[in-house]
Structure 1
Amino acid sequence: MTTTMATSSSLVYCEEEREADKAVIVRFSNGCVKNAEKLDFTMYKNADESNPRKKSRRILVAESDRLSYVGNNFGAGSLKCNSLCKYYVGVLDKQTMQMEVHSAQLFNMQPLIPGEATEAKPQDTTQTYRDKVDSLIEAFGTNKQKRALSSRRLNQVGSDTLHQAVAKAANSVIDQKGLEALQQEVAETESQADLALHLPPCNTDADKPENVYLFDDLLSPVEFGALEQAGSKMAALTPEELQKMKDDGGCLSVVKHLENMPSVGAPREKMACCAFYLSLLLQLARQRSITRKFGQEEGCPRIIQSKLFKTFTVETFNNGRVQNMLSASMRAKLAAYCLALLLHMGHMSADLTLLHRDLGITEARIIEVAKSMGLTLSKSARGKADDAELRDEHRHASLVLPLVKYDQFMERRKRKKMH
């Protein structure tokens, strides 16, 4: 397309476009079509729309007076570039000089010649090599071979009966307990796995406490820079607003650090960005099923949202849709990363009591995470203030070199004997 200097045009990208409404680009494998208007195109879609892997499957048929052409976007005959590239088609409106850009998908049209592909006989497709050998034994085998064949078939029938009984019992359990209850049991079993698999990267040979769990492993420089605008809003909160967060049951770990922020400079900006990121982690820990709108109301940058989904959630299929879930193992991982972030925010010390309340987990669980990270545990002395929070005996975790190696059976109490 050529335009003169006096002609101006603009592009309009059509974002809200369903999979079925994409433009279609066809390519004929056996030559070029001279009269495309004489072709009758028909698009077929997969009937199983609940299956996320099949709902986007399409078959395109082009029929003419002499020949029919067929193309699809799945299987061995599809173009592999469809999964590697994105294609777009521009439609120019000559009156408004606006070009609408639509998503497109490619189809490789191949001629369908009647009688070329003959269907195989049923016995050829169903009979395996073993079935053919068994037929020969039945017809020409010795008595010993026939007895062995009969015994093997009886064993196979018993095995099939057992599989059917197990499948029936499994379906009965699913009907009685429900799928969500079974998933919860699997999640609880998964939570008993080794916590070391879900800890942040640890440098046991570090010469400084702050180098054991590096801050860049928790937030990369690019991710930290994306939190600058959201962190400035956290730094601008007034004491009245912080008190309101306390009264409304907000994250006490975040409020505590916002109340004791540095006055000016880079340390204040860093503390504000970390406080905002910590609030997102604690908010994520309270969720079960996470939608794509998570964090948008709080002003969460897109790069941070993608990091949270990729690092702390697992993808599951539900009613044909992909959902991000927070499993028990991911909750343990979330607790470990929150604790590592609090260490950097609190001069290598963190309040475990506030953290386990904000995460919604038990104190024993957060202590187990702290021990897995090799932290030193301690208790704060009880105060005499009127505030109930100050009178509570808080547990603290500190990162002191060398890291502590705990015995997993050390805290197991002996059972008292009955007399």
Structure 2
Amino acid sequence: MTAEVLPSARWLYCGEPEESQRAVLVQFSNGKLLNPGNMRFTMYKSSDSTNPRKRGHRILAAETERLSYVGNNFGIGALKCNTLCRHFVGVLNKTSGQMEVYDAELFNMQPLFSDESIESESSLENQAKTFREKMDSCIEAFGTTKQKRALNSRRMNSVGSESLNRAVAKAAEEIIHTKGVTALLSDAAHDDSQDDSLYLPPCHAEASKPEDVYKFADLLTPAEYEALEGPSEAFRNVTSEEILKMIEENSHCAFVIEALKSLSADKELRDRQARCLWFLDTLIKFRAQKVIKRKSALGSEVPHIINTKLLKHFTCLTYNNGSLRNLISDSMKAKITAHVLLLALHINNFEIDLTVLQRDLKLSEKRIIEIAKAMRLRVSKKKVEVVAGRVEEHRLGVLRLPLPAPQAAERQAKRRKIT
């Protein structure tokens, strides 16, 4: 009896097999199959042929009498070794002795437990999700550490906002229950007439003297007034030659220059006028800015306590491009204007030329009259000789008792009518 002699085997690399004969290797996550011959396999490929990343997506399904299995080469369930290793399947042709070697992919087959109720609920829940919620789910699963941190921060802010809204709603219900709708409407009407008080110092309408209507201590504290002694020395000892130089260089506003020409001869009163004029001039220069980018906005000659007052009381703190900035908003400009007018009233015996201050502050005549009336000044007209032979009509503001009825600014009244 002679033995059959087979020819020696040779390797023959064939690359990827035909699409209809896809070579795959499978492993089962829950053990080994006893009867692998009873398995029925089905391969599904992505229908998106334009996207190069999705073109190679495959899903392998397998069925037995007891369970169904599924595996894929993409997503969370895909094996990492497919990208790190190469797998091959060899088919030995006994006649030719050639081992035909094909590229293959390894699939991890996991049992699929079908529950119609769970699937239907999951489908409905997924349909109900917004685009933002779906994006958040993707970030939770695949996002970078920075993206996940931003997502957590946004969710915390959202929770805080919801809690705040609930607290505000509850507080509003309690107030309405306690005071009643009629009383609240009455309070709202009263608040409308007091809108201008947001940028005005306290007004003591019951005062018996003009200087007590807007108290000087509400404009400058004793410590702030004391700090103005050094910077105001140049104003206190100003000479006629220095005033002419100021006019030529346009280094100070017109109101300050005119007031320096007529400073009091009384030493104590002159010192008070000089300090107030220096602070008034500083306020006007400060108001001309929009954004304060450094703490010492007007230079090192401004005392620290005065600089702190300017930033704290006449700016709004804003956040921009990762940094905090002090912004001089329109409401803050109105507040500065009101303080300038009140300082001028205390300097000029409670009668001021609104036209001169309007030009220094670069305001319209209508706007400065609105603020003056909100401060309960009496506004009148007067012919003023500015140069030889030239006369202008100026607006004057006078603080006189009894005070006229308060008037809200016209622009605010129009806004209330619209809303």
Identity across matched positions, percent: 36
String of CA shifts for 1:130-171, please: whole Å, max 9, x gaps: xxxxxxxx958699xx69x8777645438879xxxxxxxxxx
Residue number in structure 2 paired with 1:317: 319
| CA spacing shift, 1:400–1:160, aligned 2, 3 Å | farther
Is 1:293 equivalent to 2:327 in the alignment?
Answer: no
Residue number in structure 2 paired with 1:402: 402
| TM superposition shift of 1:319 | 4.0
| TM superposition shift of 1:283 | 0.6
String of CA shifts for 1:53-86, please: whole Å, max 9, x gaps: xxxxxxxxxxxxxxxxxxxxxxxxxxxxxxxxxx
For residues 9-408 of structure 1, the aligned pairs below 5 Å read: 154=127, 156-157=129-130, 194-249=195-250, 250-290=252-292, 291-297=294-300, 299-383=301-385, 385-386=387-388, 391-404=391-404, 405-406=406-407
TM-score (norm 2): 0.51
Secondary structure of 2:231 counterpart: helix
Q: Residues of 1 paired with 2:207 and 2:126: CA distance?
A: 65
Check conservation: 1:382, 1:392, Cα contact below 8 A.
Answer: yes
Aligned letter for 1:235? R
| CA spacing shift, 1:156–1:233, aligned 2, 3 Å | same
| TM superposition shift of 1:240 | 2.1
Secondary structure of 1:395 counterpart: strand
Check conservation: 1:285, 1:360, Cα contact below 8 A.
Answer: no
Q: Residues of 2 paired with 1:288 and 1:142: CA distance?
A: 60
| CA spacing shift, 1:379–1:301, aligned 2, 3 Å | same
Aligned letter for 1:292? K
Q: Residues of 1 paired with 2:380 and 2:230: CA distance?
A: 36
| CA spacing shift, 1:159–1:330, aligned 2, 3 Å | same
| CA spacing shift, 1:377–1:151, aligned 2, 3 Å | farther
Say how many residue pairs are matched: 242
Q: Residues of 1 paired with 2:402 and 2:349: CA distance?
A: 17
Aligned letter for 1:211? D
| TM superposition shift of 1:400 | 1.4
| CA spacing shift, 1:409–1:200, aligned 2, 3 Å | closer
Residue number in structure 2 paired with 1:180: none
| TM superposition shift of 1:374 | 1.0
Check conservation: 1:335, 1:359, Cα contact below 8 A.
Answer: yes
Q: Residues of 2 paired with 1:311 and 1:407: CA distance?
A: 22
Aligned CA-pair RMSD: 3.4
Check conservation: 2:386, 2:392, Cα contact below 8 A.
Answer: no
Check conservation: 2:229, 2:275, Cα contact below 8 A.
Answer: yes
Secondary structure of 1:316 counterpart: strand
Check conservation: 1:226, 1:303, Cα contact below 8 A.
Answer: yes
Check conservation: 2:355, 2:394, Cα contact below 8 A.
Answer: yes
Check conservation: 2:195, 2:408, Cα contact below 8 A.
Answer: no
Check conservation: 1:195, 1:332, Cα contact below 8 A.
Answer: no
For residues 405-416 of structure 1, the aligned pairs below 5 Å read: 405-406=406-407
Secondary structure of 1:380 counterpart: strand
Residue number in structure 2 paired with 1:82: none
Aligned letter for 2:298? G
TM-score (norm 1): 0.51
| CA spacing shift, 1:318–1:408, aligned 2, 3 Å | closer
String of CA shifts for 1:86-137, please: whole Å, max 9, x gaps: xxxxxxxxxxxxxxxxxxxxxxxxxxxxxxxxxxxx9xxxxxxxxxxxxxxx
Secondary structure of 1:230 counterpart: coil
Q: Residues of 1 paired with 2:220 and 2:370: CA distance?
A: 24
Q: Residues of 1 paired with 2:258 and 2:216: CA distance?
A: 20
Check conservation: 1:202, 1:213, Cα contact below 8 A.
Answer: yes
| TM superposition shift of 1:339 | 0.7
| CA spacing shift, 1:384–1:224, aligned 2, 3 Å | closer
Check conservation: 1:377, 1:395, Cα contact below 8 A.
Answer: yes
Secondary structure of 2:393 counterpart: coil
Secondary structure of 2:206 counterpart: coil
Q: Residues of 2 paired with 1:398 and 1:330: CA distance?
A: 24
Aligned letter for 1:200? P
Aligned letter for 1:400? R
Check conservation: 2:370, 2:410, Cα contact below 8 A.
Answer: no
| CA spacing shift, 1:317–1:386, aligned 2, 3 Å | same
